[in-house]
Every structure is written in C-alpha cells, then in structure tokens.
Chain A
C-alpha cells in the first residue's frame, strides 16, 4: 500500500493508507475489484456505483466494500 504521510481510512475494519484525493473508483481499481461485483458504503451511507469516480475519500472515512458469498 501507500506509505504515510497520506490519509488513512478504515477499510472493512482495517486502517488503510490511501493516496491523497483517492476516489472510490480508484481504490477499487487498486484493489483489483470489479465495481459491478461490489457495493460500497461510506460512513454508513451507500455510495451509488455511478458516483464512484467522483466520490473522493478523506482521512478517517469508514468504508465497507461488500459482495455476495454463498449463504442459505
């Protein structure tokens, strides 16, 4: 990942450094995730997929990136 001093977000419960001005779309690309296969919640609010490129992450943001897994 990126080295401090850079913003740190909490990604799925883990403190994670990100580049300054990183967007949700940029982060997903960095993580190798297909945006069509995930849903994103920032500080408990859903980020609509269409807004991923503009949604800029800030220091302290709590991000949840979820997907479907096998379940009953």
Chain B
C-alpha cells in the first residue's frame, strides 16, 4: 500500500524505514542478519571495542554496507572524553560522520549523563560530526541539544534493555511539539505496541535492540516491530478520534423499531 511509505529525512538522508535497530545480543551473525532484514531498517547501530583476536567473523566482513548505514555508538562511555575518543576512532574506521552519542551516568539504570552528553556533543559538532544524542526524556535537554546543532534528539522511553515501554508519554509529546529536528525514541521499547505508541505520539523514528534480539523469535519480532512502526505512523497521520469519558453510539439512534 502506498500509504505505508512515508519517507523522512535525517541529516540530509532520505529514509523509508522509521525503525533503527541495534546489532547486539544476537545468538550469531546469521540471526543478526535475518533480524535486520526482517526489520526493514536502513540504519543499524554498532559498538566500538578492542579487537578480539580469537573471533574471526568481524562484523564488517559480513554486514552489507550498501544496504545499511552503520551508526557507531559510544555505549559504555561514562565521560565526554571517552565518548569523543571512541567516536574519533569510529570515524577512522571509515564510517560516515554520523554517530550515536551516549554518555552513561549510572550503571544500574544506564541513564544518560546529560551534562557530559552536552559537553561531548559540543566537541563532536565542532569536529564536523553529525550527532544523534541519546538523552533523558527532558524537553529542556532536548532543546539545548537541538540549539547546539544536533541532527536529531533521541530521548529514552525507559532504561536501556528494560522493555518497560514509554514511561512518560507526556514528556515525549512535549519534546516532539518543541523540536524542529527529528525525534527518535531510543531505548526501553519492549514489544510492537510500544513502538506503535511512540509513532502515534508523533516520533519520527524508533531505535531499539533488546526488544528484538531477546525475543523468543527475534526474526518474527523484527517483522512485528516493522509493522508496529508502520501502523503507528499511519495512525498518527490519520489523526486519532478524541477520547471521551462516556459512550457514543456507533449505530443510528433514529429509526429504532418500536
């Protein structure tokens, strides 16, 4: 159906898929590949780590670089300096300048350290990176990141890997209303309906990893997420009916037999 296709633009790239997926936590490369294909994603995140000399199937040797834009992240970084250092190395790996910035502030919740995130964003933007920052669902932080020149803001729905779904729909809505750049809900989605809700709220896209990778059947869940995103986006465009406190009959009230 033509109405399923609703392209959006991220940092000058026109994209058909509104689902961005991670590549972590899968059983093996084959499962990752199958899930990525089922998700329909055009952008996939990757992490930067020391080479493991015992592992021979390097991700770069099997991932289809023509099909997917790799989005390097800074997972595991707890300071602006570490995050910047990581992304400079990622850029050296020959990936485009588009990066996912995440500076973690707490190991238990993996909540972002907004202060360090803002600091790192400034340095990276000055160095010509296209920065997609992961942040709390705080409209003020999002406004600051946009004002600095970030290409999108990526507020969390809930803690990374928690599957709790969108904890504060109202804040996500406020962020969307204020932003002139894409809003991508990143982290916390648990199942397809969570992705749908994010899209119904008016998000431009959703980024997820664990919800797909740790489903019993990751490939089937990737497909469910693809469809959930499409359904949510279509519902957003269609404009939902108002919520009423009481019933409103669907059948005519006139012409009832007596």
Contact = CB atoms under 8 A, between A and B. Distances in A.
A-B complex is real:
yes
A70 B93 CA distance: 15
B51 A65 contact: yes
Interface residues of B, number: 38
Interface stretch (A18-26, A43-51, A53-61): A43-51
Given A72-B75, A72-B210, A67 B59 contact: yes
Contacts of B95: 68
Interface of B is mostly: mixed
A66 B49 CA distance: 5
A39 B93 contact: yes
Interface stretch (B2-10, B83-91, B136-144, B226-234): B83-91
Nearest to A28: B51
A68 B93 contact: yes
Contacts of A65: 50-51
Given A65-B51, A67-B49, A67-B58, A72 B25 contact: yes
A64 B88 CA distance: 13
B32 interface: yes
A59 B210 CA distance: 43
Which 3 pairs between the two chains have the least Cβ-Cβ distance?
A71-B47, A72-B22, A72-B209
B46 A71 contact: yes
B25 A67 contact: no
Interface residues of A, number: 25
B105 interface: no
B160 interface: yes
Given A13-B50, A32-B53, A69-B47, 15 more contacts: A33-B53, A34-B61, A37-B58, A39-B89, A39-B90, A41-B89, A44-B85, A66-B50, A68-B72, A70-B26, A71-B24, A71-B46, A71-B209, A72-B22, A72-B187
B61 A72 contact: no
Contacts of A36: 60, 94
